[in-house]
Amino acid sequence: MSLRRPAILFVFIALFFGVVSIPVQAQQTSASVTASDATAIQIAEQFVLQNSGTVVLASYSATGTVSRYLGDTEESAPVTLQSMGFHQARLDSQFSSGTKSEVRGVDAQSTPTGQWTNEPGSHAVLFDNLYQGTNWFFPLLSSLGQFADSSLTFKLIGPETWNEVAALHVQVLQTISPATKKFPAVVIATNYYLDPQTYLLRGMAGTLRPDNGSPAEIAWEVRYSLYSKFQGVMVPTQIEEYLNGTRIRSIAISNVQINPSLAASAFQAQ
């Protein structure tokens, strides 16, 4: 088997297994954050209103098929996605090589936690990455929907062309202070690209770091399409994840439950 894109393969391994790092332009930096833009808050409000109406979202569950891409190879498997609130999410996929899981949650002190499981082993998610795109597969429970949270800063970057389509670009900033991390304060930026007519989310982007703790950063992007309405809520049924501009994973959603009863224990790292 030939591998035409070895650099991207190495980045994928670095992110998910923590063994290699690829340097890219840093975007998570020490900085001060000013107040939110009123227009950005209004866009976030419209995003929630236009996509969920009067439904008060608390949880989400879906099943479908996930495909992952490593070099020239593609492997597909059943997948289950679960979200509860803004800070808890879980993805489980049943590949022929074994179960692979990604879990995000919070501990008793409300500090984010996370774990990758790739049979037969597992490892913790790097602390910085816990603040980037927790509910990336269900954007209504992402930080864009947390416009009432005063600890987040919303910025309107402006109308622009994103992936050859018109988009409203809103950036959500979160400062990780020394009180929650034993390093200088840094600002984590998550970028959201919305359809200016429907307020459907077209993309989410930011940076991640390899879980081995390397200071290198990896450009991360998620693209959403083929929206359908389930129980009054607009849900993207096609989701594609990219690292450094190359697709590494896609998810096709087939079944959705809005506000299912989920156990908090499902989002705890083992």
- Quick count: other Cβ atoms within 10 Å of Cβ 263? 9
Looking from the CA of 226 toward its CB, the CA atoms found within 13 Å total 9
What is the reported pLDDT for 99?
A: 87
Structure tokens belonging to residue 185? 């304060």
CA distance 241 to 121: 23
Asked if residue 190 has pLDDT above 50, the reply is yes
- Which domains does the chain carry? 6-256 (2.50.20.10)
Does residue 204 contact residue 191 with C-beta atoms inside 8 Å?
yes
Indicate the length of the chain as a whole number.
270
Decide if pLDDT at 18 tops 90: no
**Choice between 187 and 229, residue whose per-residue pLDDT is larger:** 229
> Using an 8 Å Cβ cutoff, are 132 and 122 in contact?
no
> Residue 94: helix, strand or coil by DSSP?
strand
Distance CA 255, CA 185 (A): 41
pLDDT given at position 198 = 97
Task: Please state the pTM of the whole predicted model.
Answer: 0.85
Residue 17 has pLDDT above 80, yes or no: no
